[in-house]
Amino acid sequence: MRFRRPRSWVQWTRRVSQVLFLVLFFALALRVRISENGVPSVDADFFFKIDPLVSLSTALAARSLAVVAIPALIVLAATVLLGRFFCGWICPLGAVHAAASWFCAKRPVGSPVERRTPGHRVKYVVLVALLVMALFGAHWTGVFDPIPLLFRSTATFLLPAAQYAVEDSSTAVYQADPHAGPLHLKVLTEPLYKFGRNVLFQVDRQAYAGSVMIAALFLLIVALNLVRPRFWCRYVCPLGGLLGFASLRPALRLKNDEKRCTGCGQCARACPAAAQPDRPGEWLPTECFGCWNCVASCRRNALAFTLENPITPATTAEVDFSRRAAMGASAAGVAVMLGFRQNPLAQGRVFGADLVRPPGALAEGDFLKRCVQCGACMRACPTNALQPCALEGGVEGLWTPHIIAKVGYCEYNCNLCGQVCPTGAIEALSIEKKKETKIGLAFFDKNRCLPYAFGRECLVCEEHCPTPQKSIYFVNREVELRDGQKLTVKQPQVDPDKCTGCGICEWCCVFRDTAGVHVTSANETRHSNNQPILPGGSGSPY
C-alpha cells in the first residue's frame, strides 16, 4: 500500500488531532473537582492510562504489573507499527511545542539542513537512567514525562494564573466602572467573569507554594523552541526515547525516490525532528514524529510513506545509542538513586514533622515508588490543602503532595485525592474508612494559643473540629491576670485517640501568621513507627 503526497490534508488532520487532544487534556484538568455525589465527574486519568512510560516506570518501581494500563500497551503496540505517532498526533505537550515552534521564525530556503547530532541521544540516556532508578525504587519519571509534567504545570500554574487574571481584571473593571457615556466596559467583562466562575473554573481560586519553580521549568522547555523546533521532544523527552526504541522497525516507512529527488533539502528543513528524510537509507524512524511535513513540502513527489512488513529489515539509519552509552546511563541512574537515599528521612530513620501526606497515601517508601508528581490530587483538593513538596520529603519527594494546614484543611467528608490518583500512590478510600484514617496529630503551642498565653477565651478550634466526638475538648483552669485577678479559662486539649490530623484547627486559628495549634505527621495511620500515642510494630516502613 502506498500513500502519495497528501497535498497537506494529512497535515491538517494531524493539526486537528493535536488541537482536539490538547483541548481534551485541559478539559479533563478543569473537570478534576468534587461533584455532587463526591466522586470525580470525569475519568481524569485518561492521558496517564495511555502513557507507556508512566505504566512501565511505575510497574518497575512498585514491583507490580497491576499498575500497567491496557491502553498504554495498545499505544506501545501501535508505535511498533506506526512509529512515534503519539508524539506527532496525540501528546498534548507535543502540541504545545508544535504551536510554539510555529510561532518561531521559519527556516529560510537556503538555511543549513539539520542532521542528527549527539544531542539526540540525550533522551535515551534520560530514559535509561529513569528506568534504572525506578528499578531500584526511586521513581522520578514524573518530573520529566510529558503527561505528568504538563498536568502538574496546568494544575499548579496555568489554571490558577488564568483564574487570577480573569477574576481580578474583571473585578478591577467592575470597581472602576470605566465608561464613555452609556457604554460601560463592565458589560463585556461581567459575562466573562460569570462564565469563568460558574462554567470554566467552578472552584475557589487556588494557589500553590513552590509553583514558581514548576512554572519556570514549563516556560523554559517551551522557550527552548526558539533554539530548535520541538527541542524538548528531540533531545530530552524520555517518553519520546521509549517510543523511539519501539520505532526501530516500523511498518509505516518513509521512501525517498532517488530518481525524482533533486537534493533541495526542503523536506529536511520542514522536519521538526531532524529525522533526515532527504537522505535515502538514512531516514531516522526513531526520531520521526509522523507529521508528514516532509511529504507535503516535496514539490516533486519524491517522498511517500508506505506500509511494509515490519519483519522486513528497514533501510534506515540505526539508533545512536551504544552499549557504552547505555552503561553510562545506568550508572548515572544508580548514582542519582544512591544520592536520593543518603539522608535519614529517605532511610526511614526519622519522620518529617511537616510531611503530612493525604489520607490514603501509602507508607512513604511505597508512596514514592508510585507517585508521578502529576498534581491531580492537588487540583482535586477542594480546600487547596494539598501543596507540592519542596524538600520536605527529600529530593526524591520533589513536587509530591503534602498538606499545609495553614493554607487549607483536609475536608472531613472528602476522599477525592484517592479517587483521582492515576497510579495508586493514594488509595481510593471510602468515606467511612477515610474518616478513620489518621494523617497526623494536632499540638497546641502554649506560647501562642490565646487561653494559654494570654488568659483569654477562644473557642474557634473546638467549634470547627469535624469529628463526631470532638477531638478538641476544654479543661477549666484558673489563671491569674496582671492585676492579680483570678479568672477561670477554658483551655483546649487534644484527644489523640480521636484526632485525625485534618488540620482544620490550624487553618481556622485566629493567628493568621503562625497558628497556636500545629499539625505534624505524628500518629499517622500509614506508619506504625510514627505512632507515639498508639505504639505499633517495629518494622521499618521503607
- Higher-pLDDT residue of 509 and 249 is 509
| pLDDT of 72 higher than 60 | yes
Per DSSP, the three-state class of 407 is: coil
Which residue in the block uniquely carries the three cell numbers 527556516? 107
Task: For residue range 280-301, list pLDDT tens digits in order.
Answer: 888 899 999 999 999 988 888 8
**How far is 120 from 217, CA to CA, in rounded Å?**
20
| CA 45 vs CA 72, 120, 229, 430, 460: distances in Å | 12, 30, 29, 19, 39
What is the separation of C-alpha 272 from the centre of its chain, rounded to a whole number of angstroms? 26
| pLDDT of 528 higher than 80 | yes
Task: For residue range 85-130, list pLDDT tens digits in order.
Answer: 999 999 999 999 999 988 876 665 556 778 888 889 999 999 999 9
Of 465, 407, 401, which Cα lies nearest the Cα of 435? Answer: 465
pTM of the model as a whole: 0.91
pLDDT tier for residue 219 given thresholds of 50, 70 and 90? very high
Of 409, 541, 542, which Cα lies nearest the Cα of 467? Answer: 409
Question: What pLDDT score does 1 carry?
Answer: 45
Question: What pLDDT score does 307 carry?
Answer: 87
What is the separation of C-alpha 402 from the centre of its chain, rounded to a whole number of angstroms? 14
Question: What pLDDT score does 258 carry?
Answer: 82
**How far is 255 from 249, CA to CA, in rounded Å?**
14
Q: What mean pLDDT comes out for the span 179-206?
A: 85
Task: For residue range 403-439, list pLDDT tens digits in order.
Answer: 999 999 999 999 999 999 999 999 999 999 999 999 9
Q: What mean pLDDT comes out for the span 387-397?
A: 91
Q: What mean pLDDT comes out for the span 236-240?
A: 96
Residue 68 burial (CB count, 10 A): 15
**How far is 243 from 86, CA to CA, in rounded Å?**
8
Question: What pLDDT score does 222 carry?
Answer: 95
| Percent above pLDDT 70 for the chain | 93
Question: What pLDDT score does 542 carry?
Answer: 42
Question: What pLDDT score does 40 carry?
Answer: 53
For residue 276, give the C-alpha cell: 533526515
Task: For residue range 203-218, list pLDDT tens digits in order.
Answer: 788 899 889 999 999 9
For strand 2-3 and strand 303-307, is the pairing parallel, antiparallel, or unpaired?
antiparallel
CB 96 within 8 A of CB 151: no
- As a whole number of Å, the end-to-end CA separation of the chain is 55
| pLDDT of 537 higher than 60 | no
Mean pLDDT of the chain: 88
CB 462 within 8 A of CB 510: no
Question: What pLDDT score does 235 carry?
Answer: 94
> In what helix (H) or strand (E) does residue 150 lie, and over which residues does it extend?
helix 146-153
- Higher-pLDDT residue of 7 and 421 is 421
| pLDDT of 535 higher than 60 | no
Question: What pLDDT score does 484 carry?
Answer: 84
DSSP state of 65: G
- Enumerate the domain spans of the chain: 2-125+228-307, 151-217, 364-530
| CA 185 vs CA 172, 191, 200: distances in Å | 11, 11, 21
- Higher-pLDDT residue of 2 and 302 is 302
- Higher-pLDDT residue of 408 and 179 is 408
Which residue in the block uniquely carries the three cell numbers 521509549? 242
- Higher-pLDDT residue of 186 and 378 is 378
Least confident piece of the model among 63-72, 137-146, 432-441: 63-72
Task: For residue range 13-48, list pLDDT tens digits in order.
Answer: 999 999 999 999 999 988 886 555 545 555 778 999
Q: What is the DSSP string of 347-384?
A: TTSS--TT--PPTTBPPHHHHHHH-----HHHHH-TTS
pLDDT tier for residue 153 given thresholds of 50, 70 and 90? very high
> DSSP strand E in 206-312: where?
252-256, 303-307
